Amino acid sequence: MSVAVKLPTQLRASAGGESTVEVEAATVGEALDALFARHGELRERLCDDDGGLRRFVNVYVGGEDIRFGDGLATPVAAGQEVQILPAVAGG
Amino acid sequence: MGIISLSCRECGTDYDLGAHYVCTRCFGPLEARYDHDHLRGDIAELRRRIQAGPQNIWRYADFLPLAGGQPGPSARASSRAGLPAGCTPLIRADRLAERLGLGEVWVKNDAANPTHSFKDRVVSVAAARARELGFEVLACASTGNLANSVAAHAAALGMESYVFIPADLEEQKILATGVYGTNLVKVRGTYDDVNRLCTELSGERDWAFVNVNLRPYYAEGSKTIAYEVAEQLGWRTPDRVVAPVASGSLYTKLEKGFKEWLALGLIDGDVPVMHGAQAAGCSPVAQAFAAGHDVCRPVRPDTIAKSLAIGNPADGPYAVELARRTGGSVEAVSDDEVRDGIRLLAETTGVFTETAAARTSASCS
């Protein structure tokens, strides 16, 4: 199913200037893999050597932090938005 | 020299002194980096210069991230620029020490700042840097105290401001913020939802979000508490520090302040043992510390300490590391213990604090 991956301004230069990338995916992990397949440079920026998300990367599905769900296995429904944001704001 | 770059705490990549807060290579937080070599040498003269400075945080301008030094054409004029913060009392609290069974306790009363919280320190620095960078609008995501401070500083500087808060904040804090004539935006959701919204907006609006795109500058203001405490103790460090922890920014910058001055030989002593206090209803840092984890799993806040209700703390991993490295701790205290902490502090020192600051006295108990 088609989901939208929304990129923060800091990543858009690595994605051809796009702010949103439409991908086919059923989970967050699949959405990110599809994103990396299209824009390979993003994998290094968002993931550590073990393939997990770096510790200052927040990912939301429908506005909910995926750590309140199943992490990268969190399901995404058609039309839902996967949002990537830096974790270093606030306080 | 003073500030020379913004540097990623994770991978070390350097950035120019613009409105950046996140490393584009690894998403790590950016932090102000300084060259203090010009301050080495005559320590007595440096101490005299600080003491002859204005009675506010700008006496520490050499250690703050302004490209042009302290605001205003002279040290005297800087006292009148904006809303001067800092130089708050450090109170020797013998009766509190006795009740706690401790030898010597001091209380830093930052409620003596213009809008009654330490946020005036960080906002003073962020607002000054925002003006240097040419911003005309100040903004923030707030749990209450920051909203007051941003609104007040914007009013003092003649800037427009937008403050974003969770809709369920304490009524008196909302009222206090509104009186300064800011644009107050209530968001249905938690502080973390507000923070997410502001992170998005910072990429779309040409506004200085003090704790988002200006966060590396803003956070440096917290160091002035460490400088003041050391100066007020007679140019020495305390043995231990107990501080409230929400995002972890204040807690970690206190250590940075002490370390900078220790490295210059400006003060005697060692880096203090650092203790942090969180609300049991919102304690992601305390939980990570207790579990031996390096990262903080976010939580949904449920506490009366609204100003500490940050479920996804930006500096959480660094706060955990600091507590471990200094032999300290990060404790969680219940809302009932907070109420007792407010009463204990008031009865023994005459200081009537709010819920967030009472974490510290409750934690000591």
Domains of chain A: 2-86 (3.10.20.30)
Indicate yes or no: CB of A91 within 8 angstroms of CB of B193: no
Average pLDDT over residues B326-335: 96
Q: Which residues of A touch B297 (CB under 8 A)?
A: 67
- In percent, the amount of chain B with pLDDT more than 90 equals 85
pLDDT tens digits along A38-91:
999 999 999 998 889 999 999 999 999 999 999 999 999 998 999 999 998 888
Tell me, what's the pLDDT at B78? 47
Which of these, B17, B272, B295, lies nearest to B133 by C-alpha position? B17
Which of these, B350, B349, B104, B125, lies nearest to B221 by C-alpha position? B125
Q: Which residues of A touch B248 (CB under 8 A)?
A: 91
Interface list for A 11-70 with B (CB within 8 A):
11, 13, 45-46, 54-58, 60, 63, 65, 67-68
Question: Which member of B27, B209, B211 has the closest CB to residue A86?
Answer: B27
- Residue of chain A whose alpha carbon sits nearest to that of B245: A91
Within chain B, residue ranges assigned H as helices are: 43-51, 75-78, 94-100, 119-132, 145-157, 171-178, 191-202, 215-220, 223-232, 249-264, 284-291, 316-325, 335-349, 355-364
Q: Which residues of B touch A63 (CB under 8 A)?
A: 193, 196
Indicate yes or no: CB of A58 within 8 angstroms of CB of B312: yes
pLDDT tens digits along B45-95:
999 999 999 999 999 999 999 987 666 544 444 444 689 999 999 999 999
Average pLDDT over residues A20-38: 97
Tell me, what's the pLDDT at B360? 82
Question: Which member of B22, B141, B200 has the closest CB to residue A88?
Answer: B22
Question: Which member of A58, A85, A91 has the closest CB to residue B246?
Answer: A91
**Distance of alpha carbon B80 from alpha carbon B92, whole angstroms:** 30
Question: Which member of B215, B295, B317 has the closest CB to residue A89?
Answer: B215
- Evaluate if residue B336 carries a pLDDT over 70: yes
Separation of first and last alpha carbons in chain A: 37
ipTM of the complex model: 0.93
- Residue of chain B whose alpha carbon sits nearest to that of A7: B200
